[in-house]
Amino acid sequence: MRLQIIDKIRNYFSKQSSLKQQTSRNVFWAFSGTSLLQLSNLAASVIVARYIGQNSFGALGVLNTTLSMFVGFAGLSMGVTATKHVAEFRNSDPARAGKIIGLSHVVSLITGAVIASLVFIFAPAIASKALNAPALSNLLRLACVILLTNAFNGSISGALVGLEAFKKIAKLNLVLSLVNFIFVFIGVNLLGLTGVIFAMIASAFLSLSANYLILRKLAAQNNIKIQYTGLKSELPILWNFSIPALLSTSIATPVMWLSLTFLVNKPGGYGEMGIFNAAFQWRTFILFIPNIINQASLPIFSNLYGNKNYAAHSKLVTYNLLVICLFSFLVWGIISIFSKQIMSIYGPGFANGSMTMILLTAATVFHVSSGVIGQYMFSTSKIWHIFTVNSIWAVILIISSYYLTSKGSVGLALAYLISYGALTACVAYYTFILKRNEFFAKGARPV
């Protein structure tokens, strides 16, 4: 009897150790690949800001947010759809995994082409009426190439994450970080803001091509045949997962974009937007590790859930939550202390933006904390619950930014802090009070 108990204990800790090793390995490679890419992007943003000035840097920030908003709709959440389902079926049903990859490619290409065409047609109206900058119309049209490319690339990258190809992604990101920096440096020197857009197009094409080649190779190694026909049986995934996921995730960028339009339509708005954009870049340092952990954990969450290992599934989210909260708070403290010096790097016009940085990065701490539970809920297909709490966040951000942007970038940063604080409170209430039995108290129960 004692030997049986000892064996059970040994097996339990062996499984926990294996799970942590798998997560740590994924995090290590995701960190290695993403770190240089993020650092090169940050360095490039400083160079661009110093070359094109505060107002043009604000325009670049608005263009990037506008582009991100439409990419979110164009991709139809095919990236997270591929990640979740490829991870879930890669072992148990490779044929179905291949169909889901094919479906994600087809859908992202179709929706990407439609959205890119609409943005191209209505670019003058968007630039003049929403962004208060008619001169940005041609740049927005040029960026439609990035829109289509990134929509398709999202479905490919999602499948790679579902296959846990973090080592290969890391090596690719190492190359992309260097190439992207060179492209941006050359572009901004030759053509200013227009050159930056051309550099982004070149980087997007390079990333798409490399990711596609890697996916074809890895799919073959995993006995997964990517199929583009006979996909009708997988269409329910679109309305059962992808569309709810789109509503849940894509609600964020349009709302953020709307809050930015409140700012740029105020007197001196693009100058304030330049400050906000500079501070926004440093959210990366807080989001960096949490995003990597979440990205590395989602395929493991989905795989555990698919294999009905619910106890380990619940324990992993608790571990992630503790690590991410501790890390994000520590980084926020460091950034806050040196906020004035950091903002001065971008040029003399940015030096008075330290309070914007402190408030915006504080909001990011709340953002990453709530994001951990979001990944957990994604893996269990609790998409409509995510949509509910995100909708509450959206309403609060819209109302607060509408009234606070009269205070400039500081007001918008404060609106972010209020809304993300409310989001964290909603998620905590939902998770630990309303759904505590499903999420934590009885980890052996399916959610």
Interatomic CA distance for residues 262 and 408, integer angstroms: 10
Note the pLDDT tens digit of each residue in 263-292.
999 999 999 999 999 999 999 888 877 877
The predicted pLDDT at position 4 comes to 46
- Contacts of residue 380, Cβ cutoff 8 Å, sequence gap at least 6: 301, 305, 313, 446, 447
Q: φ and ψ at 408, to 5 degrees?
A: 80, -150
| Separation of alpha carbons 366 and 328, rounded Å | 9
Q: CA dist 203 to 116, 198, 200, 208, Å?
A: 18, 9, 5, 9
Instruction: Give whole-number Cα distances, 30 to 19, 293, 296, 348, 371, in Å.
Output: 17, 8, 7, 35, 17
Mean pLDDT within 148-168: 90
The pLDDT value given to residue 65: 92
Confidence of residue 9 (pLDDT cuts 50, 70, 90): very low
Confidence of residue 320 (pLDDT cuts 50, 70, 90): confident
DSSP state of 163: T
How much is the average pLDDT of 442-447? 43
Exposed/middle/buried for residue 412 (C-beta within 10 Å: 0-12, 13-18, 19+) = buried
Which residue would you say has higher pLDDT here, 296 or 12?
296
pLDDT of 253 higher than 50:
yes
Cα–Cα dist 179/40, whole Å: 9
What is the distance between the alpha carbons of residues 113 and 108, in angstroms, rounded to a whole number? 8
With beta carbons less than 8 A apart as the criterion, state whether 343 and 276 touch.
no
Structure tokens of 352?
Answer: 């008075």
R_g over Cα of the chain: 22
Confidence of residue 115 (pLDDT cuts 50, 70, 90): very high
Mean confidence (pLDDT) of the chain: 84
Mean pLDDT of 298-318: 66
Q: How many CB atoms lie within 10 A of CB 288?
A: 19
Q: Residues 6 or more apart from 62 whose CB is under 8 A from it?
A: 131, 133, 136, 260, 264, 270, 273
Per-residue pLDDT, 291: 76
> Whole-model pTM?
0.77
Residue 205 pLDDT: 96
pLDDT at 202 exceeding the cut of 50: yes
Q: Note the pLDDT of residue 242.
A: 85
Percentage of the chain surpassing pLDDT 90? 53
Looking at the predicted structure, is the pLDDT value of residue 442 above 90? Answer: no
**Which of the pair, 24 or 90, is modelled with greater confidence?**
90
Instruction: Report the chain's terminal Cα–Cα distance, integer Å.
Output: 33
pLDDT the model gives residue 296: 66
Measured between alpha carbons, how far is 423 from 393 in angstroms, rounded to an integer? 5
